[in-house]
Structure 1
Amino acid sequence: MRTFLLAAGFVLLFVSEILRVYLIMPFPGSQQANTIDLAYWLANNIWWLRLIALVLIAYPALHLFKQSGKQWKKIALVILLLVYAAVFYMIHYQLEADVMFYQPGNKKFAQGKANTVAPDKLVLGIVINGEAKAYPIQYIGYHHQVRDTVGGLPVMVTYCTVCRTGRVFSPLVHGKPEQFRLVGMDHFNAMFEDATTKSWWRQVSGEAITGPLKGTSLEELPSEQMILSAWQRKHPTTWVMQPDTGFTEAYAKMVNYEKGKSKGNLTRRDSLSWKDKSWVLGIVHAHTAKAYDWNELVKQQLIQDSLPGLPLVIVLEKDSASFHAWSRVVDGKHLDFMKLSGMDQLTDKQTGSVWNMDGTCVSGVLAGKQLSSVRAYQEYWHSWRSFQVGTLR
């Protein structure tokens, strides 16, 4: 009986500790199953499980050490406890998401010539109340979360490198500011835990997927992804996030990511189309989701399509990184566009007016008109199809 209690205690101790982190980190086989509720239960009951396991171990262990002899059993018991201590240390100080990826400790922003970020770097840009800010993906990809204030409003800038998803949210929950920490991932997408209720929130959608606030969603704020020079062209007075010198080594490991040249299995790019790690451009409108092949966009430079109630045009700039999606409706009329050869300009077939890459008509009968932006995302195909179930393509 004592042997059984000892074995049961150690099994419970090791399995609960390992399973708790296994289910929310990218270990083989851990991200395919729907185990988020089990992972959440383990995380919230781990201290009780540890206590039960230690109680099971304590009785036979005390009995063993009261006996004379049996040195090899005593040594084996001590070794098992030391191994557990090593596993505990590794999990809590090396494998926990929030000790692998830290938020910036020293946020700095610069404008114009004071900016040190290269013009060809990909950024996630936002504009609120007339203030524009750009966040290089090389930096936010490591941090996963950057808290800031734009146009007087708090923002939560997030990025998941495994899904290639950049999203910006208002960090208000039921009207009150909330703090979040990176806790792990679910179906390869980063998850955050709020400080108040300990609910877990999905990065790609801003939705709480387990915990007391399950089903609640953060408000997503409009953002655009493009290279910095394109963003600066559109917003000349933009502020640009500068590197935090405390994370120079971490940023260096991200230098190839944005161009799809990362060597990591989780963050690489598949150059073929419609593979798990292929890039797609995704749009959701009127409950209809559709993914567009990035390779086709690079080849064509312009794709015209229509979703329910939305004639749209998707355009890629000559840098092959900056993309835009706009509604093709101007003054109630549907326009058809083509890209001018060798130029970052469009012309509509109906009036022959010329449009720039900011969606503004610069010449012709429609001069001064502005195309309406459509929210679009570049991400991995496995991510888009996982979180936009039933997506068209």
Structure 2
Amino acid sequence: MKRSLLFFLVLIFLLIALEVLSVYFIMPFPGSQLGLGESDSGNTSLGRVELAYWLHQNMGWLRAVGWLLLIYPAFLVVTKPRRTWHRYVVGGLALLYGFVFYEVNQEMMADQMFKQPINKQVVPMSQNKIPLNKLVLGFTAMGQATAYPIQLIGYHHQVRDTVGGQSVMITYCTVCRTGRVFSPIIKGQPDEFRLVGMDHFNAMFEDKRTGSWWRQATGEAILGPLKGTSLSELAGQHMTLGEWAAEHPNTRVLQADSAFTDEFDNMKNYEKGLSKGKLTRRDSASWQPKSWVIGVEKAGFSKAYDWNELVEKRILSDVVGNEPMLLAIAPDNISFGACSRRVGVQTLTFNYANRQLTDQETKSVWTWRGHCVAGPLRGKRLNAMPKAYQEFWHSWRSFHPDTKRDESH
């Protein structure tokens, strides 16, 4: 009887440990993720995620075997206890396991904490209720524009939509401040995704067809049958709804689902960097893990620019991947643009003075969007850099380990 109780105790605690570990390594618990601002080869953090992935793939049979093995010793202890209190131990631990099982699978799973829209509404500006000063992730396809408020997609983490006849997956990770737009078509087949957890503090999705796990910041499958495959990224833009609508007056706008009013309310200060949680709150100093940067990719090269410096100087000029680039910020200090400085065969040099952006070569006047509004080049437009993002510094350097840090200005 003593052996039966001991066997029961070992098994029940092992089952509890398996349930806890299945979420521990893919959720932001103390010690579960690579620390903010730390860097490694990826092996340490990935090893933890690999364990979590193995548990998720095998949890069904592990539970079944554990439950079957528990039946006999539990029966012996309950029906023929050596001590009366043995029954209470077995009953209490069974209740504890039931509680842990419920919490892990109903409360702690990422897709249970951050749910998809129930009543998705995407309406024209004439019906829009989102304030114009709210930050959005905008996307255009085949002449149709749509704006997705960060306050909304930051909670949902992903929203599926169709823009210009194209199926899109709008994603956002608040802990990394990464907004990405992807095509959900994998090897010619459309797929569905659910939020499963995080790696390096970045959201991870699981596809329905193969069960592979995908990083949100890069669109790469890091585990599963599709490991090494990447989703096709589509160009999105961060700016206020007012600035987006000025550029795209016929835009559609995602509206708040009334089923998640409290969740959206908790996100209202996020875009300003004023969140209460330390994982989502901005550090106003430069080059700290939670500092804002503009990350730019071009031709396999990447570089990060200090947001504070951009706000102060209004423009930053540089070369990334042999592409001469202009970073400019809007008067609202929220919206920004990244453009090539080439116009035909000419490379322009820009100055900002007296609240006016001009090029040295022709003295033409430009907007922060890269539109020439006066001078010899009037009507010309600079080509946008498709991979320019505002995010936390810890995120950018985690997923761009070879990135350069701009300190030349």
Aligned positions of 1:20-169 closer than 5 A? 20-32=22-34, 33-34=45-46, 35-169=48-182
What's the offset of the Cα at 1:280? Answer: 0.7
Report the 3-state secondary structure (helix = DSSP H, G, I; strand = E; otherwise coil) of the residue aligned with 1:258: helix
Cα separation, 2, equivalents of 1:188 and 1:295: 23
In the alignment of these two chains, the number of paired residues is 391
The TM-score with structure 2 as length reference comes to 0.93
Q: Is the 8 A contact 1:12 1:49 kept in 2?
A: no
Cα separation, 1, equivalents of 2:207 and 2:192: 6
Task: Tell me the alpha carbon deviations over residues 98-149 of structure 1, each in whole angstroms, 9 at most, x when there is no partner.
Answer: 1111111112223233211111100000010010100000111011011000
Which one of 166, 173, 190 corresponds to residue 177 of structure 1? Answer: 190
Letter in 1 for 2:326: V
What's the offset of the Cα at 1:68? Answer: 5.0
Aligned positions of 1:227-238 closer than 5 A? 227-238=240-251
What's the offset of the Cα at 1:206? Answer: 1.0
What's the offset of the Cα at 1:53? Answer: 2.1
Cα separation, 1, equivalents of 2:231 and 2:176: 19
Aligned twin of 1:381: 393
Aligned twin of 1:350: 361
Report the 3-state secondary structure (helix = DSSP H, G, I; strand = E; otherwise coil) of the residue aligned with 2:270: coil
Cα separation, 2, equivalents of 1:112 and 1:382: 36
Moved over 4 A (4+): none
Matched, 1:362 2:373: yes
Aligned twin of 1:372: 383
Report the 3-state secondary structure (helix = DSSP H, G, I; strand = E; otherwise coil) of the residue aligned with 1:262: coil
Task: Tell me the alpha carbon deviations over residues 230-276 of structure 1, each in whole angstroms, 9 at most, x when there is no partner.
Answer: 11111111111111111111111100000011111111011111111
What's the offset of the Cα at 1:340? Answer: 4.0
Report the 3-state secondary structure (helix = DSSP H, G, I; strand = E; otherwise coil) of the residue aligned with 1:389: coil
Letter in 2 for 1:49: L
Matched, 1:13 2:25: no
Report the 3-state secondary structure (helix = DSSP H, G, I; strand = E; otherwise coil) of the residue aligned with 1:280: strand
Cα separation, 2, equivalents of 1:189 and 1:40: 16
What's the offset of the Cα at 1:3? Answer: 4.5
Letter in 1 for 2:269: N
Report the 3-state secondary structure (helix = DSSP H, G, I; strand = E; otherwise coil) of the residue aligned with 2:271: coil
Matched, 1:278 2:280: no
Task: Tell me the alpha carbon deviations over residues 278-323 of structure 1, each in whole angstroms, 9 at most, x when there is no partner.
Answer: 1111001121111111111111111011123111110011111000
Report the 3-state secondary structure (helix = DSSP H, G, I; strand = E; otherwise coil) of the residue aligned with 1:209: strand
Letter in 2 for 1:365: P
Cα separation, 2, equivalents of 1:244 and 1:61: 47
Q: Is the 8 A contact 2:4 2:77 kept in 1?
A: no
Percent identical residues: 52
Report the 3-state secondary structure (helix = DSSP H, G, I; strand = E; otherwise coil) of the residue aligned with 1:38: helix
Greater shift in the superposed pair: 28-37 or 214-223? 28-37
Task: Tell me the alpha carbon deviations over residues 172-197 of structure 1, each in whole angstroms, 9 at most, x when there is no partner.
Answer: 01111101111111111111111111
What's the offset of the Cα at 1:59? Answer: 2.9
Q: Is the 8 A contact 2:178 2:389 kept in 1?
A: yes
Q: Is the 8 A contact 2:5 2:74 kept in 1?
A: no
Aligned twin of 2:302: 289
Q: Is the 8 A contact 2:81 2:87 kept in 1?
A: no
Cα separation, 1, equivalents of 2:84 and 2:267: 51
Give the unaligned 5+ runs of structure 1: none
Letter in 2 for 1:100: M
Q: Is the 8 A contact 1:108 1:241 kept in 2?
A: yes
Cα separation, 2, equivalents of 1:76 and 1:68: 11
The TM-score with structure 1 as length reference comes to 0.97
Letter in 1 for 2:4: R
Greater shift in the superposed pair: 176-185 or 108-117? 108-117
Give the unaligned 5+ runs of structure 2: 35-44
Report the 3-state secondary structure (helix = DSSP H, G, I; strand = E; otherwise coil) of the residue aligned with 1:216: coil
Cα separation, 1, equivalents of 2:82 and 2:227: 55
Letter in 2 for 1:376: A
Distance 1:71 1:306, change over 3 A: same
Q: Is the 8 A contact 2:118 2:257 kept in 1?
A: yes
Q: Is the 8 A contact 1:9 1:55 kept in 2?
A: no
